[in-house]
A = this chain, B = another copy of it.
Amino acid sequence: MNAPLKIARLDASQSDFSQHLDTLLAWEGVSDKGVNQRVEEIIAAVRARGDAALIEYTARFDGLDVSSMADLTLDRARLELALERITPEQRTALEFAAERIRVYHEHQVQPSWRYTEPDGTILGQQITPLDRAGLYVPGGKASYPSSVLMNAIPAKVAGVREVVMVVPTPRGEINELVLAAACLAGVDRVFTLGGAQAVAAMAYGTETVPRVDKIVGPGNIYVATAKRSVFGQVGIDMIAGPSEILVVCDGQTDPDWIAMDLFSQAEHDEDAQSILLSPDADFLDAVEASLNRLLDGLERADIARVSLENRGALIKVDNLEHACEVSNRIAPEHLELSVADPESLLSQIRHAGAIFMGRYTPEAVGDYCAGPNHVLPTSGTARFSSPLGVYDFQKRSSVIFCSPEGASELGKTASVLARGESLTAHARSAEYRIKP
C-alpha cells in the first residue's frame, strides 16, 4: 500500500480562490537560452550544408550510423509493409478510427464563395490547399499512431498534394504502428529524422527533404523551439503545452469513471493537469477515494501520482453555472460535462478545445476515434485558438473584380482616403479608373 494521494482541494467560493487558481494553472514553457542557441546552430547548419548536416546530427543524436539520405527515407512500400506487421485487431481499430476522423473533418471543408454587386463588381474568397505539409512525429515512448492520423488526415481532406512525415528512430527503433497509421492516413514520404534538424529540413528544404509550407505535430523542447524559430518561413501549428482535462460533474456519475478520466490525462506526463469541478462535496470525497483505490493498478501510476499531486485539483463550486464560469476562466484543452443535461450548459461554455458531453463521453474516445481532432489548444490558449482542422491546411485569397462603373465609384472614395494618408500614388492609381 502506497502513501495516500495528496491532491489539492479547493473551494471556488472562497475569496482567495482566484489566486489559488492562478498558481495552479501557472505554466510557462519558455526555452532557456542554451536550448535556443543550440537550436539556432542546428538550423544554420542544415540551411548551409543540407543533407550532410542531417546525416551528422542523426548519427550524433539518434545513434544511427548511416552513409546517405537513402538510409533515412521510407517509401510507401515500407509503410504498406507496416500495415501487414501489426495485429489484425490493431489494423481494424486504426482503419475504423481513420474513417471516422475523415468523415468528421470533411464537414470542415469550406467552399470558395463570391457575390456580384448591382454595378457588376464581383467580390469573393477563393479557398486553396497548401501545396505541401510536414508532420513531425516524436520517437520513443511519445510516438503515437493516433497523432499521425489526427495530423495527416485533415491535410489530405484539405487537398494537400504531398504530406511528408519525419519521425526519429533512436538506435534504429521503428514503431510499426506509427508507420501503419501513416500508410492509412495517406502520408506520401517518411524521413527517419527528428529534433531541430528535422524541423529545419522541412522549413528550408535540403537536397532530399522537400521544403514544406506548414509544419504540424508535437515534439520535445528542441522541436518546439525550432518550430517557433522557423515560424514565418513556414506556417506552424500551435506550440503545445502539457495536456489538461477539466471535468465538470453533477455528482451523479460513477466516481470510478471520473477518477479514471482524470488519470487518463495525468498518465501522459508529470506536467499534465487534471481538475474536477463539482457542487457536491461528498462526490469530491468519493472521487478522491476512487483515485486512491485505482492508482496502484495503473501501469503509469508513478507519472499519474506526480501529475495529480503537483498540478491536479478537486474543486467545490456553488452550482453548475458556477462551474461553467470557472471553466471559462481556465479555457481547458479538454472539458468533460459529465452531467444529466449537458446541452443546458453548452451555451455557457465560451472557451474550450473539445467538449465531451454526458456521462458516456470520456475524453479517451475523443483521443482516438470519435472523429474530432485530438490536437487541441493547451494552457488557456483555447481563448483564441481552435483544434487542428482542415482549415489549417487551406488558405484564402480575396478576389476583387471591379466593373468599370464599380471602379469609378470606388476610386472616388479610395482617392479621398489615400490623400488623407498622404499616399498620392495610391490616389492617382485609383483616380485613373474614375470616369470623366
Cβ contacts under 8 Å, A387 to chain B: 396-398
Cβ contacts under 8 Å, A422 to chain B: 141, 299-300
Number of residues from A at the complex interface, CB < 8 A: 120
Cβ contacts under 8 Å, A350 to chain B: 128, 131
Q: Which of B361, B384, B400 sits near A213, CB closer than 8 Å? A: B384
CB atoms of A177 and B366 under 8 A apart = no
Q: How far is the CA of A368 from the CA of B423 in the complex (A)?
A: 12
CB atoms of B432 and A146 under 8 A apart = no
Cβ contacts under 8 Å, A257 to chain B: 429, 432-433
- Beyond A93-B417, A395-B382, is A360–B263 a contact (Cβ under 8 Å)? no
Q: How far is the CA of A191 from the CA of B399 in the complex (A)?
A: 35
Interface residues of A in 18-76 (CB under 8 A from B): 29
28 of the cross-chain contacts (CB-CB < 8 Å) are A89-B416, A93-B416, A97-B413, A104-B123, A108-B125, A122-B357, A128-B351, A144-B421, A146-B421, A232-B379, A257-B429, A260-B432, A266-B425, A299-B424, A353-B397, A355-B398, A355-B400, A357-B400, A360-B402, A360-B403, A367-B414, A368-B417, A369-B417, A372-B398, A372-B400, A383-B395, A386-B397, A389-B396
Cβ contacts under 8 Å, A130 to chain B: 383-384
Q: How far is the CB of A416 from chain B (nearest CB, A)?
A: 4
Q: How many copies does the complex hold?
A: 2
Q: How far is the CB of A374 from chain B (nearest CB, A)?
A: 9
CB atoms of B235 and A420 under 8 A apart = no
**Which secondary structure dominates where chain A touches chain B?**
mixed
Q: How far is the CA of A257 from the CA of B92 in the complex (A)?
A: 62
- Residue of A104, A383, A403, A420 ringed by the most chain B CB atoms within 10 A: A420
CB atoms of B410 and A369 under 8 A apart = yes
Chain B residue with the shortest CB-CB distance to A147: B421
A-B contact sample (13 more), CB < 8 A, given A126-B349, A235-B385, A370-B402 = A93-B417, A96-B413, A107-B115, A126-B355, A177-B421, A235-B383, A304-B425, A355-B397, A357-B401, A360-B433, A361-B401, A365-B407, A368-B418
CB atoms of A407 and B360 under 8 A apart = yes
A214 at interface, CB cutoff 8 A: yes
Chain B residue with the shortest CB-CB distance to A343: B401
Q: How far is the CA of A261 from the CA of B376 in the complex (A)?
A: 43
Cβ contacts under 8 Å, A411 to chain B: 362, 364-365
- Residue of A110, A372, A430 ringed by the most chain B CB atoms within 10 A: A430
A4 at interface, CB cutoff 8 A: no
A222 at interface, CB cutoff 8 A: no
Q: How far is the CA of A92 from the CA of B415 in the complex (A)?
A: 12
CB atoms of A384 and B93 under 8 A apart = no
| Proximity bits, A245-284, B CB within 8 Å = 1, else 0 | 0000000001011001101101110000000000000000
Cβ contacts under 8 Å, A355 to chain B: 126, 397-400
- Beyond A130-B384, A355-B398, is A113–B107 a contact (Cβ under 8 Å)? yes
A102 at interface, CB cutoff 8 A: no
